[in-house]
Amino acid sequence: MTAVDTAPAETATGGGARLARRAFAVRELGIALALVLLVVTTTVVNPRFLSAQNLKDLLLGSTILAILAVGQAVVVITRNVDLSIGSILGLSAFATGAVFVAVPGLPIPLMLVIGTALGAVLGAVNGGLIAAARVPALVVTLGTLYMFRGVDYMWATGRQINAADMPAAFLGMGTATVLGVPVLALFAAAVLVAVGYVLRNHRSGRELYAIGSDPAAARLSGIPSGRRVFYAFVTSGALAGLAGVLHAARFGTLDANAGLGTELNVVAAVVVGGVAIFGGSGSVYGAALGAVLLTTIRAALPVLGINPFWQDAAVGALILAAIGLDRALSARVARSLRERKAHV
């Protein structure tokens, strides 16, 4: 086949990719509109919902979840899932407190590096088992969820680290603001921009989407799938480790239960944010939006007088709706691509 013959097919494929990007961009816009509608409705009921302090609390409440969601999105894009991130956060948070108790004068930037490195090592355990041994991610990370939490419990041995045991400057970082924006939210924004840039503009980032779209085709095309999946889990672990340090700065009081059950909220944020659970599509920006939306829902429902029982029910309904919408969008894109190819 000549270059002239392949040009129409390439044009159709490129058109399909553009169509997919537009479809999921509309999905992210829909999430943003839902967030705005929720805030407006809640503010009408209670005007204090948009007070400066409440907005700060919403940002602080969504910061750690957003960082975890960015890491989880990188993994889900490859058609995998990381259920151990809550345990990694908890272990990193307790390690932060323990290190500060042992070395009170440790510089805060160094503690951030130590926590992130610890999370990266734990993520490498997940990635190594999945990529090298080819064990399903769901099985591996379910096992490491309990293993890492067990290490945390053994280390803590029932004790608790209090805010008084940690440096005041470190705890101040958890509530400090820059031009009214919480410092922790700036951490989340930096992570979001950096990871989003890599996924969109670097070859290694684009290859993650190829792996998630069709793992077999990705391997046949020469993409080092095992290595890419390994680094995706390292990234998820590193961001969970960073989130653990920020968790310690925000809450101050630490025990072995830090981050318990967080993994379910993170997966919910990623799915609601438009990252297809089947892999190959979505963005970290949508995942972060999903985290903000879920945090706002939990803050808004009590204001609206809705029973707390329905908070979890609302999140579950959003997950089901998101999965159904993903399937509908995927089917529409596939149908449009087939029509383009048939026309060519």
In a domain, 12, yes or no: no
Distance CA 293, CA 25 (A): 17
Query: Does 184 reside within a domain?
Result: yes
Measured CA distances, 116 to 196, 236, 246, 254, 317 (Å): 18, 10, 10, 18, 33
> Is residue 200 a part of any domain in this protein?
yes
One-character DSSP codes across 62-98: HHHHHHHHHHHHHHHHTT---TTHHHHHHHHHHHHHH
* Residue that the structure tokens 């999140």 belong to: 315
- Tell the residue number behind the tokens 């009081």, with chain if given: 253
**Structural domain includes residue 33:** no
Residue 223 phi, psi (nearest 5): -75, 130
CA gyration radius, the chain:
21
* DSSP letter assigned to residue 48: G
Contact status, residue 258 vs residue 93, Cβ threshold 8 Å: yes
Tokens of 245: 């340090």
**Closest to 118 measured CA to CA, from 239, 280, 247:** 239
The CATH number for 79's domain is 1.10.3470
Q: Of 281, 277, 271, whose CA–CA distance to 209 is shortest?
A: 281
Alpha-carbon distance of 189 to 192, in angstroms, equals 5
Range(s) of the domain holding residue 225: 46-327
For residue 147 the two structure tokens come to: 């293993």
First vs last Cα of the chain: how many Å apart? 15
DSSP state of 106: -
Model pTM above 0.75 = yes
Query: Would you state the pLDDT for residue 148?
Result: 95
Quick check: is 30 in a domain?
Answer: no
Whether residue 166 is contained in a domain is answered as yes
| E strand segments, 125-199 | 177-178, 181-182
Q: What pLDDT score does 70 carry? A: 96
Total count of domains within the chain: 1
CA–CA separation, 41 and 308 (whole Å): 18
- 10 Å CB burial of residue 62 (0-12, 13-18, 19+) is buried
pLDDT tens by residue, the chain, 344 residues: 444 444 444 444 444 445 555 555 666 777 888 888 888 888 888 888 888 888 888 888 899 999 999 999 999 999 999 999 999 999 999 999 999 999 988 999 999 999 999 999 999 999 999 987 788 899 999 999 999 999 999 998 878 888 888 899 999 998 888 888 899 999 999 999 999 999 989 998 899 999 988 888 888 888 898 899 999 999 999 999 999 999 999 998 888 888 888 998 899 899 888 888 888 888 899 999 999 988 988 888 888 877 767 777 777 777 777 777 666 666 665 566 566 666 65
**Structural domain contains residue 11:** no
Q: State how far the Cα of 234 lies from the Cα of 94, in Å rounded to an integer.
A: 20
Examine residue 63 and state whether it is found in any structural domain, yes or no: yes
Residue-level pLDDT at 119: 96
